[in-house]
Amino acid sequence: MTARRIDGKAAAAALRERVAAGVAAFRAKAGRAPGLATVLVGEDPASAVYIRSKNRATAEAGMESFHHQLPDTISEAELLDLVGRLNADPAVDGILVQLPLPGHIDASRVIETIEPSKDVDGFHAMNAGRLATGLPAMVPCTPLGCLQMLKDELGSLSGANAVVIGRSNIVGKPMAQLLLGESATVTIAHSRTRDLPDVVRRADVVVAAVGRPEMVRGDWIKPGAIVIDVGINRVPTDDGKGRLVGDVAFDEAAEVAAAITPVPGGVGPMTIAMLMRNTLVAAHRRAG
Ligand code: GUN
């Protein structure tokens, strides 16, 4: 291995410490703690793990955590009603409805019902549009965490060739907008991209967010590139426990890249730390 291993846990710990200090200052000024409401519909085990981590981090940052656990039989109308009540609740600064939602609920309708100033996921069309037009916005946590790690590595991204693999509203598109905002030359590649390995070979910065285990191979990576792996995929192992791998073949890519994020311990911890940051930012903006 020649690449530096980008330590997402350490970067996240540093950010969480800054957020906790900001929370203490907010409490002193506003006389209350910032509050984050999380909503989990159903019992998907992976979603339950994420929500537990988010709620634990909220408490550790000194913020109020309001968790709403709902059965997967709940109707869309009932969920929209809860979102409406959270929108109106002055103790709630941020609202996070964990995705995916059961098939009978229209996730877009739920997201568009969240008050944009409380949309700490940054998924509302108002926030996506504000990000795309360069206005202050709530920015999705995962791409925000990726950008922070890239800036920590490179300083300036101006003029860099950045290839984002994946075009989701949650990661790929906002990631591309953030990189454009840093004056990178941005390519968004996806499942229909022709000659994907050749496209990736031109990249100084690669952000892989496709959800396909170890799809990006070492010989796709330009020597000296920075590789950010957003994928979290569980693959089977002989002992039946399974193993987490990213979208990048780590050992191969680490032979070529200048720096690379591991899975786990890379992007994941930064995502949660950015959620804490977004909640504090939302609290400040709402408090004026
Ligand atoms: N499901 C997977 N990632 C996310 C996320 O960042 N936010 C929400 N709300 N749901 C998710």
Are the CB atoms for 22 and 280 separated by under 8 Å?
yes
Distance of CA 80 from the midpoint of ligand 1 (Å): 18
3-state secondary structure of 43: coil
Residue 287: name the closest of 104, 48, 35, 12 by CA: 35
ipTM over 0.90: yes
Distance of CA 50 from the midpoint of ligand 1 (Å): 8
Are the CB atoms for 106 and 75 separated by under 8 Å?
no
Interval 106-137: pLDDT, tens: 999 999 999 999 999 999 999 999 999 999 99
CATH number at residue 54: 3.40.50.10860
Are the CB atoms for 272 and 15 separated by under 8 Å?
no
Position 86 confidence tier, pLDDT thresholds 50, 70, 90: very high
242-264 mean pLDDT: 98
Position 257 confidence tier, pLDDT thresholds 50, 70, 90: very high
Binding site membership of 199 for ligand 1 (Cβ less than 6 Å): no
273 inside domain:
no
* Angle, vertex CA 231, rays to CA 223 and CA 178, nearest 5: 75
Note the pLDDT of residue 288: 80
Distance of CA 169 from the midpoint of ligand 1 (Å): 11
Sign of the alpha-carbon dihedral angle for 101, 38, 138, 53:
negative
Q: Go through 94-112 and write b for each residue having 16 or more CB atoms within 10 A of its CB, e for each that does not.
A: bbbbbeebbeebeeeebbb
Query: Does 232 carry a binding-site annotation?
Result: yes
Take residue 280 and report the two structure tokens written for it. 């504090």
Q: Determine the structural domain holding residue 200 and report its residue range.
A: 141-268
Note the pLDDT of residue 74: 98
Domains held by the chain: number: 2
Strand runs labelled E in 236-281: 243-245, 259-260
| 69 is a catalytic site residue | no
1 pLDDT more than 80: no
Is there a single domain that holds both residue 182 and residue 263?
Answer: yes
163 inside domain:
yes
Note the pLDDT of residue 66: 98
Which of residues 83, 116, 149 is at a domain's end? Answer: 116
Note the pLDDT of residue 223: 98
| 54 is a catalytic site residue | yes
Note the pLDDT of residue 281: 98
